[in-house]
Amino acid sequence: MNMRDQGSTRVIKRYSNRKLYDTESSRYVTLNDISGLVKSGVEVGIIDNSTREDITSVVLAQIILEAEKNRGETSINVLRRIIQSGGETISELIARKAGPKKPDRKPRDGKQILKGLSESAQRSIDELQAKVDEFVSAAVTSSPVAKSVHSELISLQDRIKQLEDRLRKLRKGLGDGF
């Protein structure tokens, strides 16, 4: 899918650090945000920023599988069942799983199940991302090396500013011919 040709598609870029960037709102987003967009009917396309590969299906599958895992099912079991089902769609699998035990289940229930799966997967991913961010932040702020590097960067920034000021004065002194 060439998302540039699809004016109504909201483009989300995934960077090498796995962060997701919404090009329309010019901000980083979470899988939960993407799930919300999809649920509200927004056509979303996710591309890998470095390869320009369309990874929409991978990210949406990740949302669904994480939700499944939160419901107590392992992702491996879910994937096995999908593969074993052959050509059945996920909606057909859900309907078949419901079987005659639940005749009151409507076809729309599959969408509600997927919605619940998506929401719980996003919560798990958000929690994991927060823990990783917290761990990295704690490691960086407690590291003497990081503090030293930070101090050096500030010193270098000050020195560059001084050199820029001197260069500006030199240019001014030589006139517009420089």
Q: Where are the alpha helices (DSSP H) in the chain?
A: 31-39, 56-70, 75-84, 90-98, 109-142, 144-174
Whether residues 70 and 154 fall in one domain: no
Cα–Cα distance measured from residue 86 to residue 92, given in angstroms and rounded to the nearest whole number: 11
Q: Which amino acid is at 86?
A: G
- Total domain count, the chain: 2
pLDDT string in tens for the chain (178-residue length)? 455 445 689 999 999 998 999 999 999 999 889 988 988 999 999 999 999 999 998 888 888 776 666 666 566 666 676 677 665 566 665 666 555 554 455 555 666 777 777 777 787 787 878 787 777 777 766 777 777 887 888 899 999 999 999 998 988 888 755 5
Tokens of 109: 């229930």
Instruction: State pTM to two decimals.
Output: 0.43
Instruction: Say if residue 53 is in the same domain as residue 122.
Output: yes
Q: Judge if 49 and 130 occupy the same domain.
A: yes
Claim to verify: residue 125 and residue 176 sit in the same structural domain: no
- What's the burial of 81, exposed, middle or buried (CB within 10 Å: 0-12/13-18/19+)? middle
User: How many other C-beta atoms are found inside a 10 Å radius of the C-beta of residue 63?
Assistant: 22
Boundaries of domain holding 51: 3-142
